């Protein structure tokens, strides 16, 4: 599609369908003015949390900073009162062509980022206090009887985040989460453990969740059994 232009801010500037912004003066062809310099700014904490923005002036000591993708969407896309977030369809925030933009809700934007694999999670987040190995160790220790408060104190975390970590409400990509209300209802024998491992190795499609229900054990204990880090006779 050929590049097209639309005037913005009462004709002081023009934005193109390719994501370029230029100055505009009355009487000159639209799109032929001085192109405005765009800069990068980080926004959030995901790997793709950067955007192009541009600073526009409107007189002496009067200026504003605007995200380029927003200028393009406002100028070229039909507005939807229920969708006020601009999403990059290909997941590339540097591609501000109008064909790559769409209006979405906050929820739709988050779902799209998750599907595209754009969100940092776990230890890749800049503010992570633990890593995947530590999360698994915490869940194992909790399953062995250690108190949540003691674990929270040791790892310098507040009580609620530690509870969420153990239950899998956070760090959901790490195995061994302990579901709320799950308790160990039986002791496992050596034969039980052997059966569990064989069922998963057989490739019959049985899931860890199904095995937890069948043998009446928590997901955390099941994870330890499969990893060989817990003796089979222990509950």
Distance CA 24, CA 140 (A): 64
Using the structure block, give the residue that is written with the tokens 């003796």.
231
Residue 173 lies in a domain: no
Distance CA 15, CA 230 (A): 63
52-100, pLDDT tens digit by residue? 999 998 877 788 999 999 999 999 999 999 999 999 999 888 899 999 9
Q: What is the pTM of this model?
A: 0.54
Query: How far are the Cα atoms of 34, 44, 130, 158, 191 from residue 18, in angstroms, in the given order?
Result: 16, 25, 42, 47, 65
Residue 22 lies in a domain: yes
User: 37 with 58, same domain?
Assistant: yes
Residue 172 lies in a domain: no
User: 9 with 77, same domain?
Assistant: yes
Q: Where are the beta strands (DSSP E) in 36-84?
A: 38-42, 50-59, 62-67
Q: Which domain holds residue 186?
A: 179-235
**Residue closest to 182 by CA, chosen among 235, 104, 108, 124:** 235
- Overall number of domains in the chain: 3
Residue 79 lies in a domain: yes
Residue 78 lies in a domain: yes
129-179, pLDDT tens digit by residue? 788 888 888 888 888 778 888 898 999 888 888 888 888 877 777 777 765
* CATH number of the domain where residue 31 is located: 3.90.75.20
Query: How far are the Cα atoms of 13, 22, 98 from residue 34, in angstroms, in the given order?
Result: 10, 5, 21
Q: Which two tokens stand for residue 235?
A: 């509950």
User: 51 with 103, same domain?
Assistant: yes
User: 41 with 68, same domain?
Assistant: yes
Domain closes at, from 115, 137, 158: 115
């Amino acid at each position: 599609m050929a590049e097209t232009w639309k005037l913005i801010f009462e004709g002081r500037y023009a934005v193109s369908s390719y994501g370029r912004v230029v100055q505009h003066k009355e009487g000159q062809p639209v799109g032929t003015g001085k192109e405005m310099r765009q800069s990068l700014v980080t926004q959030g904490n995901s790997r793709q949390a950067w955007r192009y923005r541009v600073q526009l002036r409107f007189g002496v000591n009067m200026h504003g900073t605007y995200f380029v993708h927003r200028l393009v969407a406002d100028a070229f896309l039909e507005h939807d009162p229920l969708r006020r977030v601009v999403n990059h369809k290909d997941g590339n925030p540097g591609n501000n062509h109008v064909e790559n933009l769409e209006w979405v809700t906050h929820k739709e934007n988050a779902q799209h980022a998750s599907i595209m694999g754009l969100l940092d999670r776990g230890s890749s987040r800049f503010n992570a206090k633990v890593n995947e190995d530590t999360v698994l160790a915490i869940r194992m220790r909790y399953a062995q009887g250690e108190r949540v408060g003691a674990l929270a104190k040791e790892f310098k975390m507040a009580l609620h985040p530690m509870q969420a970590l153990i239950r899998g409400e956070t760090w959901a990509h790490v195995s061994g989460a302990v579901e709320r209300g799950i308790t160990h209802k039986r002791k496992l024998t050596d034969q039980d453990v052997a059966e569990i491992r064989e069922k998963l190795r057989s490739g019959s499609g049985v899931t860890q969740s199904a095995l937890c229900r069948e043998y009446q054990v928590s997901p955390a204990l099941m994870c330890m059994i499969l990893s060989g880090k817990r003796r089979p006779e222990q509950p």
